[in-house]
Amino acid sequence: MNWQSITFDWNQARAFLVTAEEGSLSAAARALGLTQPTLSRQVAALEETLGVTLFERVNKSLILTEAGVELAEHVRAMGDAASRVSLAASGQSQQIEGLVTISTTDVMAAYILPDILQDLRTKAPGIEIRVVSTNSLSDLRRREADIAIRHVAPDHPELYARKLRDAKGRIFAARSYLERFGRKLTKADAPKLDFLGYEDNEQLIGYLRALGLEVSQANIKISSPNLLVAWEYVRLGFGLGVGADEIAARCPEIAPAFEDVSPLSFPIWLVTHRELHTSLRIRTVFDHLAEGLLKEWRDALPGCGFDLKRQL
């Protein structure tokens, strides 16, 4: 390693990362116990040392530049490593224990979390995990959950959120269902297809029509507010349903339904309350979930094998 190439100050890097995570200098200063001018000088010093602009000021908000987004990922990894060093040095790494409640959708809980939680049991055997499987937003401020995996950003300042990535999804169907037509499906086929409904079918119909699919309530013969049940019916060939690529990648009997509907995009947020900064058990689970979810998507997506030309 070329040690002389490492010229920046860790305190400056930490000031940058916390500002990026918190979204403002004032919030970052409170999180670090610093004055806002001190924090601002540290961020400015890092920009000067590296020779890049990390933030753009839009009205009263700070927006990461392209260089800032790239740097944040590297500094975040440094922060995670520094946290582990601190725990090990203080002898607390073996004393992380207690209950942590995770709220997520039933599909995520059934397909994605098991491998991640199994690994967590090895790393932190003293932690007890309770999974709240729900498709509604748990109120973290009322401690209905300690950590939530969401598709929308929280809008309350007491909550801490980290956007992991924009995930991809599509409209899927069982290969057995698609084989009935003997050809690839297009948007023009939508009025005569079966779709699996969810809790709010009017909203679903509006969403599908926005994608160019002319469907109505008549296309929805079976509905379930439980996404896991609806997905199982898609797998069994009852009709078409919306799903995430990383879920469908685990189901070889599933294929994208249309050749002319572009992939969907939806954000994945990891959300918790401010106790993240003071609770070792919550911080441990939060960081492990972030690492595990990113690894799951990186590992799964290249191998999805969704070749529309070979779906039949």
Tokens of 109: 């809980």
User: Across the chain, what does the average pLDDT equal?
Assistant: 83
Query: For 262, which DSSP code?
Result: P
With the C-alpha atoms ordered 69, 71, 77, 82, is the resulting torsion angle positive or negative?
Answer: negative
pLDDT value at 310 more than 70: no
Tokens matching residue 107: 């599909």
Greater confidence, 125 or 58? 125
Find the mean pLDDT for residues 225-253: 92
pLDDT at 256 over 90: yes
pLDDT in tens, 14-29: 888 888 888 888 888 8
Beta strands 61-64 and 55-58, pairing class: antiparallel
Task: Name the pTM for this structure.
Answer: 0.63
State both tokens at 140. 């973290």
pLDDT at 299: 65
Burial 33-64 (b: 16+ CB within 10 A, else e): ebeeeebbebbebbbeebeeebbeeeeeebeb
The mean per-residue pLDDT over the stretch 128-138 comes to 79
DSSP assignment letter at 138? P
Which domains are present in the chain?
3-90 (1.10.10.10), 98-163+266-302 (3.40.190.10), 167-265 (3.40.190.10)
In this prediction, residue 304 carries a pLDDT of 46
Q: What dihedral angle (degrees, nearest 10) is formed by the CA atoms of 268, 270, 273, 274?
A: -120
Question: How many Å apart are CA 233 and CA 238, to the nearest integer?
Answer: 6
Structure tokens that stand for 77 in this block = 């990894």
Highest-scoring range by mean pLDDT, 81-90, 197-206, 209-218: 209-218
Residue with tokens 């440094």: 78
Higher pLDDT, 69 or 156: 69
